C-alpha cells in the first residue's frame, strides 16, 4: 500500500483542484453519466458545479485533503439549517446549463431526506484514479470518522452503488433510496453516534492528527457569511440507536449494518 500522504485542512486556493479531483472520479460513474449525458461536456460541467459546493463547505463545514491533492473529503456541519451556496440559482444555471434540472433533482432528494438532528454531512469523498485501491479512501474515511467520534456526532451521506460497500464497511447503514429517472439509485446512509456502535477492529494511521470539529451547538457555531468573491449499528450498551429523522421521513427505515459532491459524490470512493 505504501506510505500515505499527510491529511490537512483545505485552503481557499484548493477549491478548483478539489472540484476537478471529484469531477474526475464522478465522471466515470453511472451518476456522472446521468447528471451530464454529453461526454464532451461532462468533466467541465461537473467541476463547475462541484466548485460551488466545495466553496460552500469552507464557510459552513470543512474539507480535508491530502498534501498532494489526490484525495478529498468535503463535508457540511448540519448543526442547524444551512443556507444554499451564495447566489446558488444563477451560478448553478451558469455552471450546469441544460443539465440544471438533473442537479436540482439531486438537491431536492438531499433536502427532503437530510436528518433534522445535528449531524455531519459528508458530501463528497474522492480519490484520484491513480490512487484507487491503495488504501487512501479508507484512510480518509477513518480520519473523518475519528473526528466525529471525538464529539460523539452522527454522520450522514448520499452515495451510489460504486461506494456503498466502502461506507458499509465503515459502519454506515442505509437510510433511504432514490431511483433517479432512467438512472442509478442514490442511497442515503447514516452513521450512528460513537456510543451506539462498536469500535473498529483497527485504525489506519495517518500522518497528521485529526482536527476536531466545532461543537454542534448553534450558540457556539456561527459560520461567517460568504464573501463577495464567490462568495447503525447494533446498540451494545442498552443506549438507543440513532435513527435520522428527515423532513419527509419522520420514521425512516433503517436496514441492518452496512457503505458515501454533490452528491456522491465518491469516486467517489461519495467514497
In a domain, 85, yes or no: yes
What is the extent of the structural domain holding 137?
Answer: 7-220
pLDDT, one tens digit per residue, over 187-197 is 999 998 875 65
- The answer as to whether 176 is a domain residue is yes
pLDDT of 236 over the 50 cut: no
pLDDT over 70 at 266, yes or no: no
Within-domain flag for 77: yes
Residue 175 is placed in which grid cell?
Answer: 437510510
Give CA angle at 217 (214, 222), nearest 5°. Answer: 70
Query: Is a pLDDT exceeding 90 seen at residue 243?
Result: no
Domain CATH number, residue 33: 3.40.630.30
Q: Number of folded domains in the chain?
A: 1
Confidence of residue 228 (pLDDT cuts 50, 70, 90): very low
DSSP 224-243: PPPPSS------SSSPPPP-
- 260 part of a folded domain: no
Is the pLDDT at 227 greater than 80? The verdict is no
Cβ pair 6, 207 in contact under 8 A: yes
Q: Is residue 101 part of a domain?
A: yes
The answer as to whether 269 is a domain residue is no
Amino acid at each position: 500500500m505504501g506510505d500515505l500522504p499527510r491529511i490537512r485542512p483545505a485552503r481557499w486556493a484548493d477549491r478548483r483542484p478539489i472540484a476537478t479531483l471529484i469531477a474526475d472520479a464522478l465522471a466515470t460513474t453511472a451518476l456522472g453519466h446521468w447528471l451530464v449525458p454529453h461526454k464532451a461536456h461532462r468533466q467541465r460541467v461537473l467541476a463547475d458545479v462541484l466548485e460551488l459546493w466545495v466553496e460552500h463547505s469552507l464557510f459552513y463545514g470543512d474539507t480535508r485533503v491530502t498534501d498532494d491533492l489526490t484525495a478529498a473529503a468535503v463535508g457540511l456541519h448540519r448543526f442547524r439549517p444551512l443556507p444554499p451556496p451564495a447566489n446558488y440559482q444563477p451560478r448553478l444555471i451558469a455552471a450546469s446549463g441544460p443539465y440544471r434540472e438533473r442537479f436540482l433533482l439531486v438537491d431536492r432528494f438531499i433536502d427532503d431526506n437530510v436528518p433534522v438532528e445535528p449531524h455531519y454531512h459528508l458530501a463528497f469523498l474522492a480519490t484520484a484514479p491513480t490512487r484507487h485501491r491503495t488504501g487512501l479512501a479508507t484512510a480518509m474515511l477513518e480520519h473523518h470518522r475519528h473526528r466525529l467520534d471525538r464529539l460523539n456526532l452522527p454522520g450522514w451521506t448520499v452515495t451510489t452503488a460504486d461506494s456503498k460497500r466502502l461506507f458499509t464497511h465503515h459502519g454506515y447503514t442505509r437510510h433511504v433510496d432514490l431511483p433517479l429517472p432512467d438512472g442509478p439509485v442514490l442511497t442515503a446512509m447514516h452513521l450512528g453516534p460513537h456510543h451506539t456502535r462498536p469500535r473498529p477492529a483497527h485504525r489506519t494511521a495517518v500522518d497528521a492528527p485529526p482536527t476536531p470539529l466545532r461543537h454542534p451547538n448553534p450558540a457556539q457555531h456561527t459560520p461567517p457569511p460568504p464573501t463577495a468573491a464567490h462568495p447503525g449499528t447494533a446498540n451494545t450498551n442498552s443506549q438507543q440507536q440513532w435513527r435520522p429523522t428527515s423532513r419527509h421521513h419522520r420514521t425512516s427505515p433503517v436496514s441492518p449494518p452496512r457503505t458515501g459532491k454533490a452528491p456522491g459524490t465518491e469516486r467517489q470512493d461519495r467514497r
